[in-house]
């Protein structure tokens, strides 16, 4: 199981366009990808509704995890999207 902990930097938080890009990227993976607020319950990173409902604001930390071939690369990309201002 690969895991990353990153801080969300976009001004709008993980909402609107950053959230859409994040979910679109996760949805391409053939394996499960999850996202949680630090210490919170993980939800599917492929679900825009679940991601929005987490209500991640600018400066908050998220934990993303996945297991499968190419999981490391995918998490790197997702971490980059989340940490893009």
Partner 1 sequence: MDRRDTGSGPAPDEITESPEAQELIPRLLTGTGVSPGAGYGPARLVVGDVPEPAAGSRHDGDAPAERDRAERALDEVAADLEERGARAGGDAEDVLVAQAMMARDPELAASVGLLIDQGVAAPRAIFEAFGKYRDLLAAAGGYLGERVADLDDIRDRVIAVLTGLPIPGIPLDAAEPYVLVARDLAPADTALLPKDLVAAFVTEQGGPTSHTAILARSMGVPAVVGCAGATAVEPGTPVLVDGATGRVRLSPSEDEVADALRAEEARRAVLSAAAGPGATADGHAVPLLANIGGPRDLEAALAAGAEGVGLYRTEFLFLDRDTAPTPEEQEEAYRAVFEAFPHGRVVVRTLDAGADKPLPFLPPPGEEPNPALGERGIRMFRRHPDIMTAQLGALARAVTGATANVEIMAPMVATAQEAAWFAEACRTAGLDSAGIMIEVPSAAIRAADLIEVVDFFSIGTNDLTQYALAADRQVSGVAGLQDPWHPAVLDLIRTAASAASAAGKGCGVCGEAAADPVLACVLVGMGVSSLSMAAPALPWVRAALAAHTLEQCRTAAAAARSSVTPGDAVEAARAELPGLHQLGL
The DSSP code sequence of 46-75 is T-HHHHHHH-PPTT-EEEEEE-STTHHHHH
Nearest approach, Cβ of 19 to partner 1 (angstroms)?
A: 8
Q: How far is CA 14 from CA 6, 38, 51, 53, in A?
A: 12, 14, 8, 10
Catalytic residue among 4, 15, 37, 46: 15
Residues that bind partner 1 in the complex, under the rule CB under 8 A: 12, 15-17, 20, 23-24, 27, 43-44, 46-50, 52-53, 55
Nearest approach, Cβ of 61 to partner 1 (angstroms)?
A: 18
Known catalytic residue at 28:
no
Give catalytic residue positions: 15
């Amino acid at each position: 199981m690969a895991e990353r902990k990153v801080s969300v930097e976009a001004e709008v938080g993980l909402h609107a366009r950053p959230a859409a890009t994040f979910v679109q990227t996760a949805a391409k993976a053939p394996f499960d990808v999850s996202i949680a607020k630090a210490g919170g319950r993980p939800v599917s990173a492929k679900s825009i509704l679940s991601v929005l409902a987490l209500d991640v604001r600018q400066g908050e930390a998220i934990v993303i995890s996945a297991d499968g071939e190419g999981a490391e690369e995918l998490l790197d990309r997702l971490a980059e999207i989340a940490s893009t201002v």
